[in-house]
Structure 1
Amino acid sequence: LKKKITIGYIVYDIDEYLAPANILICSKCMGLGHFMKQCTQTKSTCKTCGECVDDLKLHICSNVEKCIHCGQNHKSNSLKCQVVKSFRSELTRKLLSSNNYSSASSLNKVNNSNQPNFQYLSSDFPRMSLPQHLPSNINNDMLNKMDDLLGKITELNNHLTNLELKYSKFEQFMIEKNTSNLSVKQNVNLLSQHSTDYKKELVHHSILIERHENVCMKLIIPMFEDLFGLISSQNQDMKGNILDADLKVKLERYLIQMKKVKEGKHSNT
């Protein structure tokens, strides 16, 4: 006779739980049903490759898994082995049979000792009716809690909406910032290009100025010096007297200025 239990006005049968049996696997020979101390095998068996060796510590395993029970590619002590599963199922079945036999014997003894026999009828234990109405204070508490919960949900929804707006503004700001950075970068590149062009033009003008100065110093100034010397010689009569004093002063002043220009050029170089 099964025992019963009532939970929440519902009657449930009670069955005894028996966990699956634990299997003894020898760590020496990988055999089933005994410990290493009870093992009669002289050599040790590698659980990975299944090879029998004298000393596992000196054994060089190939790391190729091969079960000694079924020959499949898993370790010999693996619980997924079909041979191990079959052994475990058979052991569990035997334990269940033994447990059922002992339970039946105990039950017979109890039935024989307790007279008259008792027979359970579900009609003798009718289900209790559920309450039709809950107390008003419970309803009020539940409504208050629901109102609080709805209020918190509304606040959370508003908070999420504000966060979404802030995120949208921030995203727009980042887009504008990236656009501005790109424009600034383009302007900087343009200025850099203009600066390079200006430097090239400056070098070109410097070369032209230097050429003109060289022409002036090496050609024009010597030519004017010779010309002024010729004019100065023509400004004298047969006796060496100056014919035009003002012209002489002007020529001397011009020669002094050209001399200063030449001296300044040499000092700069």
Structure 2
Amino acid sequence: MAIDHFKKQCKEINKTCKICGISCPDLRQHSCSLVSKCVHCNGEHNSNALKCPIVKTFRAELTNKLLSTKISSSSTAATKFNSNNYHYHPANFPPRPNPQRWTTNTNTTNSVVTKIDELISSMAKVNISLERIISKNDQYEQFMSDKIKFDEMTSKKLDELITTGNNFKTVIAQHQCKITRHENIFTKLIFPILDEISTFLLTINIDKHGGILDADFKVKINRMRAQLYNARLNKEI
């Protein structure tokens, strides 16, 4: 994209974001990604940044062009002045009065020199301030670039955590289905079989004379049955 023209002379139809370099019809409706990308050199900085090599080259060439134009104009005027033929006629130049002694005001000269020194010192301070501003701007751009990368990494990790959480929920739901299936098997199959077995064992706990072989057998069976039910209900005896 050319930079040697003014905004009114630009032939581009769309506007270009100076930060991300995206071209769009209306910058007010543009959602900038805040990722710096120069439209001139594709570098990681704003398009109007002074550190852009293309901008630096253009400014240097423009300065040299202005200086060369000024020097060329001065030399052309001097050449034109010297090329004219002038003829000296004493009658056209009356004698000048006697020269008067020129007095130099030392205080005025010193004041002017002091002002020039102050101006040079001020310009040096301004230059230092501009360099600091450019350095701070570069640091801020680097900070924003690092922050965007960190935010992208954080967002990616959050997405991974959400995916892992959803996978855990699926596994837990599957285990819950298996537990429910096993509970149904114990409730509808195992427990009835155990009841039948305990009833049968109680009927054969009698000797040939009709006496009870083990007096505590029925109590033990009932205790074991209660323990099984409480274990199923997550209760302690």
State the TM-score, normalizing by the size of structure 2. 0.52
Q: In the alignment, which of 159, 162, 166 is matched to residue 136 of structure 2?
A: 166
Corresponding position of 2:124: 154
**Rg larger in structure:** 1
Distance 1:133 1:204 in 2: 109
Match of 2:201 in 1: 231
- Mapping of residues 1-269 of structure 1, within 5 Å: 135-238=105-208, 240-258=210-228, 264=233
- What SS does the corresponding residue of 1:152 show, helix, strand or coil? helix
Distance change >3 Å, CA 189–CA 167, structure 1 → 2 = same
Instruction: For 1:155, give the aligned amino acid.
Output: K
* Residue identity matched to 1:171: E
| Aligned-residue offset at 1:258 | 4.5
Contact 1:232 1:248 in 2 (8 A): yes
Change (3 A) 1:261 1:208: same
The residue type equivalent to 1:201 in the other structure is: V
How many pairs does the alignment contain?
144
Using the aligned pairs only, state the percent identity.
Answer: 27
**Aligned residues: CA RMSD:** 3.2
TM-score by length of 1: 0.46
Matches of 1:259 and 1:164, distance apart in 2: 78
Cα distance, 1:178 vs structure 2: 1.3
Residue 255 of structure 1 and its aligned partner are, at CA, apart by: 3.2
Letter in 2 for 1:138: T
**For residues 148 and 230 of structure 2, what CA distance do their matches in structure 1 show?**
61
* Distance in 1 separating the partners of 2:226 and 2:140: 76
The verdict on how the C-alpha distance between 1:132 and 1:190 changes in structure 2, with shifts beyond 3 A counting, is farther
> Structure 1: where are the runs of 5+ without partners?
1-120
Task: Kindly provide the amino acid, as one letter, of the partner of residue 138 in structure 2.
Answer: S
Query: Runs of 5+ in structure 2 lacking a partner?
Result: 1-90
Q: If each structure's helix is expressed as a fraction of its own residues, which one has the higher value?
A: 2
What amino acid is aligned across from residue 106 of structure 2 in structure 1?
S
In structure 2, how many angstroms separate the alpha carbons of the residues matched to 1:233 and 1:245? Answer: 13
Q: CA deviation at 1:256?
A: 3.5
Query: Using the alignment, how far apart are the partners of 1:186 and 1:240 within structure 2?
Result: 78
C-alpha separation in 2, matches of 1:234 and 1:187: 67
Higher relative contact order (CA 8 A, sep 6+): 2
